[in-house]
């Protein structure tokens, strides 16, 4: 399809995808306890088992049918959906669980790794949400099929469900991902943006909250289409500069481009086997390929790294991470390979369905820095590190330098910030989600 120029879009052919996980914290709980799937499930912040304090972080879509929603007091949620007393379960009762953020961040990191494999331009905006610029990687012709494949990959590889919106602008993509939640996919092609917005309630326009929506209703504006047709002068006099901004958004105009923030905290590649593999040779082959790919990625980004790690997924979703830190940053593909293989040896006998290699503790200072005093000597460090061979996350290298990091989970937070709990935590994981490329 030919790209149609829209007034106010940053690039005429821009293709933006917005990915947002469905009832994310609840979905994570359901992944870890499949018997919770399909149940009314409430995840409470500041909530403890059996108590009534705290607030709803999220609720499964089954629980939402009882009127339970994010930010509601747990006490109120309990009135709408009483707590289930025993495992057999009564009708019209729900299961309540406390938030386990470390776990959700580890799941989010797996999703983000897949997203970073899809495009070089990914902006993570919250734990369960990201924008991707797929203009070059996919384009309009393949956008719908790509989004459908992406959703399938996330569900099969991570075990949680994403809704995806694809549109020519960030604001339209965000609205689109929300449109058919849960389990939704909406593609808004360039010529259709105005029409797509026309009948939406005005509070779905980016930048319009409940207060502004009420004020707009006073002006007789209830839909995005109505807002788009309103006089921008009137809006500006009423709401200031923001008035013109929401008018533009309602018209599908949005000049923002998807920009990743900051330098990546880590670089990684991962790849799944079609089915679980036990043979060590096959695992080693994959780790060798992944190690080379990660080292190459770091080379292209002019990054040196001080920590080298692997991720091993045992079926179904049992994620193990091992890492080893060096005394100083290096850029050495052989070292990435030898350490990764050494870390893998612990899993020689175990069934594995997915492997990953990651470098972190990145240094972008480039070659101008003073000599590292031998830290760059790969073979020597490799030998030392290989001898150290820490077999689990509590072990340390002989130099006592171990800062063992994880791809996900609590230990990664200070290091890779991979779960992107905030806007500025960008983990440029460059994962390999497809089976073909490295197989
Ligand atoms: P959202 O994406 O807003 O919500 P969600 O993923 O639970 O549901 P949806 O299917 O509508 O996308 O937020 C992501 C997570 O952030 C959510 O699972 C829990 C957390 N959260 C809170 O802790 N408090 C809140 O008020 C909201 C809105 C979300
Ligand atoms: Mg969500």
Confidence class for position 360, pLDDT limits 50, 70, 90: very high
Nearest atom in ligand 1 to 129's CA: 2
Say yes or no: 246 and 327 in one domain. no
Sign of the dihedral through C-alpha 344, 348, 349, 355: positive
Picking from 56, 81, 100, the residue at the C-terminal end of a domain is: 100
* Domain that includes residue 209, residue range: 195-250
* Ligand 1 lined by 109 (C-beta under 6 Å): no
**88-131: per-residue pLDDT in tens?**
668 899 999 999 998 999 999 999 999 999 998 999 888 999 99
Catalytic residue among 129, 245, 337, 411: 129
Q: Does residue 47 have its Cβ closer than 6 Å to ligand 1?
A: no
What DSSP designation does 362 have? Answer: E
pTM of the model: 0.65
pLDDT of the residue at 388: 32
DSSP assigned state of 35: G
CA neighbours closer than 13 Å in the CB half-sphere of residue 154: 31
Q: Which residues pair with 20 in a beta bridge?
A: 129, 163
In a shared domain, residues 374 and 275: yes
Domain boundary among 208, 224, 250: 250
Whether 57 is in a domain gets the answer yes
Same domain, 294 and 367: yes
Q: Are residues 270 and 245 in the same domain?
A: no
CATH code: domain of residue 371: 3.30.1490.100
Do residue 55 and residue 83 come from a single domain? yes
* Cis upstream peptide for 182 (omega within 30°): yes
The contacts of residue 282 (CB under 8 Å, 6+ apart) are 273
Closest among 118, 163, 124 to 15, alpha carbons compared: 118
Residues 37-68 pLDDT 10s: 999 999 999 999 999 999 999 999 999 999 99
The pairing of strands 16-21 and 95-98 is unpaired
Q: For position 81, which CATH number holds?
A: 3.40.1170.60
Which residue from 163, 245, 250 is spatially nearest to 200, judged by alpha carbons?
A: 250
More confident residue, 218 or 400: 218
CA geometry: angle 266, 268, 270, nearest 5 deg: 155
pLDDT given at position 302? 80
- Number of structural domains, the chain? 3
Instruction: Indicate whether 220 belongs to any domain.
Output: yes
- Cα of 107 vs centre of ligand 1, distance in Å, is 14
């Amino acid at each position: 399809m030919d790209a149609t120029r829209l007034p106010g879009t940053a690039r005429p052919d821009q293709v933006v995808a917005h990915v947002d996980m469905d009832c994310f914290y609840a979905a994570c709980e359901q992944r870890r306890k499949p018997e919770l799937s399909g149940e009314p499930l409430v995840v409470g912040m500041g909530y403890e088992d059996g108590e009534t304090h705290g607030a709803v972080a999220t609720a499964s879509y089954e629980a939402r049918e009882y009127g339970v929603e994010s930010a509601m007091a747990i006490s109120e949620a309990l009135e709408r959906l009483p707590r289930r007393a025993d495992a057999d379960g009564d009708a019209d009762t729900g299961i309540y669980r406390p938030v386990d953020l470390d776990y959700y961040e580890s799941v989010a990191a797996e999703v983000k790794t897949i997203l970073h494999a899809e495009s070089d331009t990914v902006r993570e905006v919250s734990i369960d949400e990201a924008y991707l610029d797929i203009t070059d990687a996919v384009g309009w012709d393949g956008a719908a099929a790509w989004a459908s494949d992406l959703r399938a990959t996330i569900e099969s590889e991570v075990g949680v469900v994403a809704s995806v919106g694809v549109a020519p602008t960030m604001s339209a993509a965000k609205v689109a991902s929300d449109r058919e939640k849960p389990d939704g996919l909406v593609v808004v092609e360039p010529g259709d943006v105005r029409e797509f917005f026309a009948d939406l309630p005005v509070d779905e326009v980016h930048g319009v909250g409940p207060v502004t929506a009420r004020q707009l209703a006073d002006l007789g504006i209830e839909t995005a289409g109505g807002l788009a047709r309103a006089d921008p002068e009137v809006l500006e006099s009423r709401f200031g500069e923001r008035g013109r901004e929401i008018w533009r958004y309602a018209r599908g105009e949005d000049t923002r481009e998807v920009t990743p923030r900051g330098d990546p905290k880590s670089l990684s590649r991962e790849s799944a086997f079609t089915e679980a593999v036990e043979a060590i040779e096959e695992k080693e082959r994959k780790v060798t390929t992944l190690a080379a790919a990660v080292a190459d990625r770091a080379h292209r980004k002019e990054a040196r790294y001080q920590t080298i790690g692997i991720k091993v997924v045992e079926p179904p979703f049992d994620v193990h991470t091992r890492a080893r830190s060096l005394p100083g940053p290096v850029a050495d593909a052989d070292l990435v390979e030898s350490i990764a293989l050494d870390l893998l040896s612990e899993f020689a006998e175990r069934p594995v369905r997915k492997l990953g290699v990651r470098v972190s503790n990145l240094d972008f200072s480039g070659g101008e820095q003073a000599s590292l005093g031998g830290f760059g000597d790969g073979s020597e460090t490799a030998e030392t590190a290989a001898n150290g061979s820490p077999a689990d996350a509590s072990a340390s290298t002989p130099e006592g330098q171990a800062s063992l990091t994880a791809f996900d989970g609590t230990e990664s937070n200070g290091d890779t910030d991979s779960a992107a709990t905030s806007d500025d935590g960008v983990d440029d994981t460059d994962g390999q989600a497809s089976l073909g490329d490295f197989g």
